Each structure stands twice: as structure tokens, then as C-alpha cells.
């Protein structure tokens, strides 16, 4: 992970999900990503922020 930038495999490992699922989420624009040199790249920071935002929304729903 150079400078917090992950490829599809890195995202899958980080989130503990299948690479196929990551591809689908990227193509559906549910995970922010850029295609550089034919490969998808995702900033780990964006994944963490996205996860935190979704978690906060879910916690609000519980109250």
C-alpha cells in the first residue's frame, strides 16, 4: 500500500470481501475509485471515511 492507495486486491483484503464484490461496488460508484493505467485505485482514507459515515447513519437510525 503505497501512500494509502489500494488496488482492487488491496481493497478486498482490507474490507475482507471478495475482489469480485469490490469490482461491482466500484462500477456501481459505491466505492470512490480512479482507473489509472488500466487498474482501479482507491484511497484507504476514502474507504475509512465512507465506512465511518455509513456507520454513523446506522447508529442514528437506532436512536
Cα 63 to Cα 61: distance, rounded to the nearest angstrom? 6
Question: What's the predicted TM-score (pTM) here?
Answer: 0.84
Tell me how crowded residue 38 is: count the other CB atoms within 10 A of its CB: 5
Low-confidence stretches of the chain (pLDDT < 70) are 1-2
Q: Which fold has domain 5-62?
A: Arc Repressor Mutant, subunit A (1.10.10)
Cα 41 to Cα 54: distance, rounded to the nearest angstrom? 21
Identify the pLDDT of residue 63.
78
Amino acid at each position: 500500500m503505497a501512500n494509502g492507495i489500494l488496488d482492487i486486491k488491496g481493497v478486498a483484503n482490507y474490507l475482507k470481501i471478495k475482489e469480485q464484490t469490490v469490482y461491482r461496488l466500484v462500477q456501481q460508484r459505491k466505492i470512490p475509485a480512479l482507473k489509472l493505467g488500466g487498474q482501479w485505485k482507491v484511497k484507504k482514507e476514502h474507504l475509512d471515511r465512507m465506512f465511518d459515515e455509513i456507520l454513523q447513519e446506522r447508529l442514528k437510525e437506532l436512536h
